Amino acid sequence: MSDVSVKKEYSLPNLSCANCAAKMEDEIRKLDGVIDISVVFISKTLTMELAADKADAIVEQARIIINEIEPGVVAIDVLENPEGIFDKKGNPDINNNFIRNKVSRLGLSGVFFGAAIILGHFNISPYITIHLYIISYLLSGGGILLSASRNILKGRLFDENFLMSIATLGAFAIGYFDEGVAVMLFFQVGMLLQNLAAGRSRRSIAALMDIRPDTANLVINDGIKVVSPTSIKIGESILIRPGEKVPLDGIVVEGTSMVDTSALTGESVPREVLPGNDVLAGFINRNGALTVLVSKEFGQSTVAKILNMMQNASTKKAPTENFITSFARYYTPVVTIIALLIALIPPLLFNQLFANWIYRALVFLVVSCPCALVLSIPLGFFGGIGAASRVGVLVKGSNYLEALGNINTMVFDKTGTLTQGVFEVTKIQPHGDYNNTELLHIAAHAEAHSNHPIAVSIRKAYGNNLNTSKISDFEEIAGYGTKAVVDGRTILIGNSKLMHMANVVYKTSDDLGTTAYIAVDGQFAGSITISDMLKPNALSTISRLKAFGVKKLVMLTGDNKTIAEATALELGFDATHYELLPDQKVSIVEGLLREKPPKTKLAFVGDGINDAPVLARADVGIAMGGPGSDAAIEAADIVLMADDLKSLLGAISVSRRTKRIVWQNIVITLGVKVIVLSLGAFGVASMWAAVFADVGVALLAVLNSLRVIHISKSEKAH
């Protein structure tokens, strides 16, 4: 196989059978040159990774397989349909003509079916009645009979087309014309309703992710030109009027306004932007006109990456989905074989009537269709991913969403995750004749030419303009601090080693944080303590995680022992590891992975910039994204777009809610099927009950899955 691979993505607009999607995936996977493949019914997408030298041939073979398994389904390259599953008009759901044609056929079938029942009730010409049943049957089930015939010729048995064909034709053969037609008619109606419900789910997700702007106002020499965002280049300027979406990432060069960031971050409070501030595609401009200098082309913008990630999320299937898909492969053939035995053994061995036992076997066949499971389970996870996006959490696959609800151990990076990653002056301790204002004035001027984070925090605390004409002979002493002459006085500012080197007698500080000691003309003048402040929701989030059932909380940091232990104690961590290099963090996480209980997961929460190795090693890598953080979006499995720990709680709530609904669907679907199968075997259940056990339960499961999308008030509060 070639070492070079290519990725191909297609939409499957008229795909209407969840079980068929699984079969397409199985058949295409067998082709030589297919490295990876995923056919997702919920998003109606086909994604393939192929050997580059065989890609064109594989694509043609895949198109043939798709059309053979479900005639009328075509694969459309996403380059030809760039709107993908998030088209605001609902495409590529079943197109309107397809729906109208199917509704017309089923409506006409229903008319003939009703006429046959009425004539039969009044005993008017059985010959006419039978022909009306046949016409009704062909109108509703002709396509299924045709598909079943094609599949039989290709050796593909045990699909829903085969099962429905055998069950309904068998009913005709033993004289149950009304039930044979009813099964086919209501099966088709149920499938249509299922697809409409699934389409509603897709449109709900599309509404949640309706963040892609349609146009942009390009600033040109003689005014404004409305263009597509994809045509604008880096360095060009765009105008964003009040009420418009920001079409591209950029920097505000003119104007001030409040922007709504909720579509990307889940934050409900608008944010003020000023000249020099960054804005991202997908923000909504609320009140003032903004002129923005474009910093990224549309394909590299935050909104484009988010949409691409969401569209591909369904390809990473949860273990529950994979189990159900595997289960369906064996379940249908097994039930079909049991149905055959029910039809033959009692009449042959016990001299029973063939008609009675064939009828019971037909009930078995109707019930055995696995569509309810194959459709509703992925739909539940798909809705969960959309629901998570409403609380500002982007999940890259249903496997990660499911894992999030099984977290036993959660490991946190400190700087930039639990803390703000911004150093601030927390204490000023003057000595001798100096006061706070004088000491800060001296320190800020001595640090005027330094870019060290401590120097920046001191200048920020000072807040006033610096008179650099007073400063001379500036010198930065690596590993110690700085030396400068300010107003003719020699100023030293740095750590304790600098004081020792200059033979300055000083008073040590025990305050938590980094202490900068200051000497003026060789005499100790005081100290300034700089600390990295905790994020506002860090304490409440950590305490809530324990209430959520996370058993072990661990903090990793490169900071010294004193700061690490104090932070861990304040937040309530079970363990902390300090003075770590990135590779040491990986080693510790690997040790924790070995220690955690079976079937539980370990999550690592980091800032997504320098924690990529640990994010990749954990079962679930969670990045504090922050709007526009490309590193976070690329490195992590889950991204907290608001850069706020509290959204982690909302994500866990969504995960558990999704898992609960998915298992409700499994229990309800299998439970009802087992009950009706048992009743059918004993001759108690009729085909009407079998139709409910198949189509009715499938519809109930789909509607139950839609509940995932609607976030509860408690999840929004997180």
Q: How far apart are the C-alpha atoms of 496 and 525, rounded to whole Å?
A: 13
What are the strands, taking DSSP E only, across 414-547?
419-430, 471-477, 481-486, 489-494, 514-520, 523-534
Whole-number Å distance between alpha carbons of 609 and 625: 9
Residues 6+ positions from 706 with CB-CB distance below 8 Å = 197, 200, 201, 204, 379, 383
Give residues with Cβ within 8 angstroms of 221, minimum separation 6: none
Cα–Cα distance, 146 to 144 (Å, whole number):
5
Residue whose token pair is 């003689």: 222
Cβ–Cβ under 8 Å, residues 589 and 604:
yes
Q: How far apart, in whole angstroms, are the C-alpha atoms of residue 318 and residue 326?
A: 13
Chain centroid to Cα 415, Å, comes to 26
Task: Evaluate the omega torsion of the peptide bond into residue 92 and state whether it is cis, within 30 degrees of 0.
Answer: yes
385 Cβ partners below 8 Å, 6+ apart?
205, 310, 313, 314, 395, 398, 401
Return d(Cα 603, Cα 554) in angstroms, integer. 10
- Contact 60/73 with Cβ under 8 angstroms? no
Backbone angles phi, psi at 53, to 5 degrees: -75, -10
Residue 500 neighbours by CB distance under 10 Å: 11
Structural element, H or E, at residue 689 = helix 687-691
**Cα(207)–Cα(389) distance, rounded to whole angstroms?**
11
C-alpha 628/C-alpha 295 separation (Å) is 11
Q: Residue 152 is encoded by which pair of tokens?
A: 């039989």
User: Annotated catalytic residue: which of 159, 249, 413, 694?
Assistant: 413
Q: Residue 398 in contact with residue 317, Cβ under 8 Å?
A: yes
CA–CA separation, 147 and 133 (whole Å): 21
Q: Taking a C-beta distance cutoff of 8 angstroms, is the pair 63, 48 a contact? A: no
Q: For residue 249, indicate whether it is catalytic.
A: no
Backbone angles phi, psi at 656, to 5 degrees: -70, -35
Rounded to whole angstroms, the Cα distance separating 277 from 252 reads 6
Q: Please name which of 451, 449, 445, 458 lies closest in space to residue 489, comparing C-alpha atoms.
A: 445
CA dist., res. 594 & res. 601, Å (int): 11
- Cβ(563)–Cβ(513) below 8 Å: yes
Structure tokens at 241: 């009027």
What's the rounded Cα separation, in Å, for the pair 474 and 490? 10
Q: List residues bridging with 484 in a β-sheet.
A: 491
Token digits of residue 77: 């390259």
Q: Report how far residue 385's alpha carbon sits from residue 203's, in angstroms, rounded to the nearest whole number.
A: 14
* Matching residue, tokens 């009706």: 676
Rounded to 10°, the helix 646-681/697-706 angle is 170
Helices (H), 122-250: 126-153, 160-173, 177-208
Tokens linked to 706:
């839609």
Catalytic residues: 413
